[in-house]
Amino acid sequence: MAQPALLACDWGTTNLRAWTLDAEGAVMAEREFPLGVSRLGAGEAEGRFQREVRPALGAERLPAILCGMVGSNLGWRAVTYADCPAGLFDLAAALTEVAPGVRIVPGLRCQGIAGAPDVIRGEETQILGWLAARRDRQQGRIVLCHPGTHAKWVLIEDGRIVRFVTAMTGELFALLSQHSVLKSDAPAEDEDAFDAGLAAAGDGGALAARLFTARSRVVGGEAEAASTPSYLSGLLIGAEVAAVPQQLGERPARVVLLGDAALCARYQRALERSGIEVETFDGIAAAVAGLFALGYRS
């Protein structure tokens, strides 16, 4: 019978997902903990990990690999970013040991837009796991989008992450729908309003002006207030899809979507309206594959 060989953790801002994996990378057990780094006090991460996470999975003696915000200045220890271009072996060589048998994935840094650096921490492990799953993905040029609070658009060449651009679309949606004149408690489930937002996004330019249409369409009597969250979601995602890939120097004919299924479906709707071919993959499965590839084979 297979035995657990590795404890793998994706430790983010709001929660921690943990898996025990066998020597082939198959999941043997999994748990989720409300231990996101935003909920921890300074210096708490190591103790909570050793006292709560390890025993819950019977993994007290297993080697462990962690990715995500646990490697930031809010987490266990601030781990220095590795520089792009980078692939699986580059990140494996840059793993940082923070306790005996416990290593953290460093995340990546590249030259961003407007001369400022851009950074990624956590999503790189999913991307590398997706790449490692099939040999043909490690050849050629790929544009990948990881939707989320801070969406990542990533250019991959021959299995290495060359550069990426971050779009704060999810955070903008939360702020505008909760703390602005566009605030609403209605669910963002109106497909017609979402499509209207996509159309209103145009080429993604003059976003601050386009955003006001989310209010004017209601006060002008052309739409119900309950449709505003869906319209706003379509407008923000549509503007991102139209404008951000160009910051990579690309006009992609095909985009890989990696992440949460429901959010990826919204991006797929926006991309396909623009005539772009889309393939969607599960982010959690990719995270497990990436942690295994980095932690067990490195």
Q: Which domain holds residue 243?
A: 167-281
> 113 with 195, same domain?
no
> 125 with 239, same domain?
no
pTM of the predicted protein model = 0.95
> 129 with 57, same domain?
yes
| CB burial readout 115-132, b (16+ within 10 A) else e | eeebbbbbbbbbbbbbbb
The CATH code of the domain that includes 260 is 3.30.420.310
Whether residue 298 is predicted with pLDDT greater than 60 in this model: the reply is no
The Cα–Cα gap between 242 and 240 comes to: 5
Do residues 26 and 2 lie in contact, with contact meaning Cβ atoms separated by under 8 Å?
yes
> 211 with 102, same domain?
no
Using the structure block, give the residue that is written with the tokens 């490195």. 298
The region that residue 187 occupies, defined by phi over 0 for left and psi between -120 and 50 for alpha, beta otherwise, is beta
> 54 with 81, same domain?
yes
Average pLDDT of the residues of the chain: 96
> 97 with 49, same domain?
yes
Asked whether residue 271 is assigned to any structural domain, the reply reads yes
Per-residue pLDDT of 4-22, as tens digits, reads 999 999 999 999 999 999 9
Whether residue 36 is predicted with pLDDT greater than 70 in this model: the reply is yes
The CATH code of the domain that includes 53 is 3.30.420.300
Q: Please tell me the predicted confidence (pLDDT) of residue 233.
A: 98
Per-residue pLDDT of 222-255, as tens digits, reads 999 999 999 999 999 999 999 999 999 888 999 9
Q: Please tell me the predicted confidence (pLDDT) of residue 151.
A: 97
